[in-house]
Structure 1
């Protein structure tokens, strides 16, 4: 979307803008000649995450805007109020608030320590509320004032709660701020809206969750920046209380081709959390794909019988996947992962298997592992198992769809996923 200059001279207070979606929105505003206040924690380079508030400020000013970088932990009310005070002193007021900062942990009830629960609620809910509250007196006097929360439309489907209830409640807390504040400030002309991506977005969080292969099924942060720009340039009195989806916003603006937003043009895109229609569509796609491939296993099995003499007659698609994985185990993989995994497979080819990537050169077997405790338990149907470990779907996608349940060390599960992705790539 082309910049129009409508945000020139306007001041935007953006949380979590040192990288990712927040920084992309900041740069879009800067290209209009707007002022940006970065409210984020990163002041020193992180070993795994690119960018600080100062490197982002430099990019914003190079893009044509003015920037005030502020070190802020948005859970700290005093720190937020001080940053708001500095913003008003520097730029004379605040016209836009982007509540972008967020914490995520896709863990179940027993796997979510209270410290992690408090972090998600402190950043997502308290941080959003605190920032909006501190900025509101200035927004009420601002020019075409907008509050935009990067949060999803509200859905009460149990599917979005059952695997990560704490995260869902915390993220929905941001959306409930939209629901309430939009009505509270509607008559006063302050727009309060939410924006959420239709697909997964290429961010540091997504890379940590799904790895390099998953990123190919994402769109870039630019689509969120363009959609935010379209919302922020609307009349605040006529556009409030909406739960916008990035692609729908841009379609209304006349955008028809979205290929340039894809990390890998032409790749199948992964839908984001909390979007019911896309989840149903994806499930249907998976069923159709499995049906189309039902004839393939017989051909593969026949081919294997011709070339292999020691394959037992009771071989199943699941056991064949484990056999393939077994041949790829080595000490290097063990050193990279360092965990023991249990796979509880249900359905047509049910059974329990273990993968030991903690000892020696690794081991795979049926039943429970001997000795070490299991670090991660992964539960799924045999169809989902075969899809996952033959490259037909991704771990993050299966988890988001509720087809895969993970209990235990989520970080360890992601390490395993990255190693298996390499194996799959080498065999395709």
Structure 2
């Protein structure tokens, strides 16, 4: 998408913009000659994640923008107030606020440490509210003021809550800020909108999560950050008097601006993409997209192949699981797992209140069901592919408690040494 120069001289305050989506939006607007304030915590290089506020600032200036890198802790009120004031003083005001900073922890209620709960709600909901609060006096003076939150549409479907209610609440808190503030600030001609991707977006954080060569699997099901940068450009260029209170999906916005070739944003053009969380049902349909594993609404089933040699290998793997299970590992898992491998069921009962057992006969209602094929299961067991990567690529389906599924990865970590 070509830049038009509409943001020349405009001042944009972006939280969490040292890398990823926030930085992509910063660079897109900077190409017009915008003034960019990068408000983020990272001032020293992260051992696994590229980018600091200073390296991002250099990139912004290299493409034609002016930049103010400000170390900001979105959780601290004085830090946010100071960053907003410093930006307004340097550039003479603030025209746009992009609330991008966010924290994520995909666990169920019992498995969510309160420290993680507090972190997500303090950064996502409180941080968005607080940054908006202190930016409003400056935005009121702008001729076309915008607040843009990177948050989802408010889809009240149980499936988006059941596996990670704390995270969903924190992200929806950002969206509720859009719902309320768009009406509250309408009289001041300050637009408040939300932007959310239809598909998974490939960022440095995702690359770190899957790691190594397996990052290729995640890339194949994802789009580039550019799609959100272009969509944000479209939204922020609209009249703040006319376009407010909208929950925008990146594809929709771009199509309305005449951009129909979404393949240009794919990490691997032509590949089938993974849908993001929190989308209305109509966005989860189509040959070009697959539903996030575990959110299909029904348990996925792979073709029955129990008579194959691979199926016999699966039996051997679960015998190895029996042999290597320790009291410490059982205590750590503390759940009943069901593995469905090409149609064969294997119950692994590691509930702390019962004797450990592995059985192909039904034991009870599993806390989580993991469904895959023989080949993928054996690769996971041998350490050739991480369960996280199999999940991201759609080769491992999960239904039930995602937190328990994450614990199951410890089994595969120990199996590698046994096979």
Note whether the superposition's TM-score is higher than 0.5. yes
RMSD: 3.9
How far apart are the structure 2 equivalents of 1:366 and 1:238?
61
| Aligned CA distance change for structure 1 residues 234 and 417 (closer, same or farther; 3 Å) | farther
After superposition, give the CA deviation of every residue in 1:278-322 in whole Å (9 maximum; x if it has no partner).
4466469989xx88x74x838xx46x4xxxxxxxxxxx95x6446
Q: 1:62 Cα shift?
A: 0.3
Could you tell me whether the CA contact under 8 Å between 1:210 and 1:414 is conserved in 2? no
Aligned length: 380
**Aligned partner of residue 244 in structure 1, secondary structure:** strand
**Structure 1, unaligned runs of 5 or more:** 305-315, 332-336, 356-364, 369-376, 423-428
Alignment correspondent of 1:13: 13
Superposition pairs for residues 180-195 of structure 1, below 5 Å? 180-195=180-195
Alignment correspondent of 2:305: 297
**Structure 2, unaligned runs of 5 or more:** 351-356, 361-365, 380-386
How far apart are the structure 2 equivalents of 1:166 and 1:284?
18
**Aligned partner of residue 86 in structure 1, secondary structure:** helix
**Aligned partner of residue 47 in structure 1, secondary structure:** coil
| Aligned CA distance change for structure 1 residues 23 and 283 (closer, same or farther; 3 Å) | closer
| Aligned CA distance change for structure 1 residues 197 and 320 (closer, same or farther; 3 Å) | same
**Aligned partner of residue 238 in structure 1, secondary structure:** coil
How far apart are the structure 1 equivalents of 2:180 and 2:339?
43
**Aligned partner of residue 347 in structure 2, secondary structure:** strand
How far apart are the structure 2 equivalents of 1:402 and 1:148?
33
| Aligned CA distance change for structure 1 residues 247 and 127 (closer, same or farther; 3 Å) | same
Is the counterpart of residue 233 in structure 1 residue 232 in structure 2? no
**Aligned partner of residue 407 in structure 1, secondary structure:** helix
Alignment correspondent of 2:97: 97
How far apart are the structure 1 equivalents of 2:30 and 2:410?
38
Is the counterpart of residue 406 in structure 1 residue 382 in structure 2? no
Alignment correspondent of 1:202: 202
How far apart are the structure 1 equivalents of 2:414 and 2:270?
25
**Aligned partner of residue 106 in structure 2, secondary structure:** coil
Alignment correspondent of 1:345: 338
After superposition, give the CA deviation of every residue in 1:102-129 in whole Å (9 maximum; x if it has no partner).
0000001111111110000000011000
After superposition, give the CA deviation of every residue in 1:357-408 in whole Å (9 maximum; x if it has no partner).
xxxxxxxx9359xxxxxxxx97216x55669638999414769986253335
Alignment correspondent of 2:270: 266
After superposition, give the CA deviation of every residue in 1:34-76 in whole Å (9 maximum; x if it has no partner).
0000110000000011100000000000010000000000111
How far apart are the structure 2 equivalents of 1:324 and 1:346?
12
Alignment correspondent of 2:39: 39
Alignment correspondent of 2:2: 2
How far apart are the structure 1 equivalents of 2:376 and 2:17?
34
How far apart are the structure 1 equivalents of 2:66 and 2:259?
29
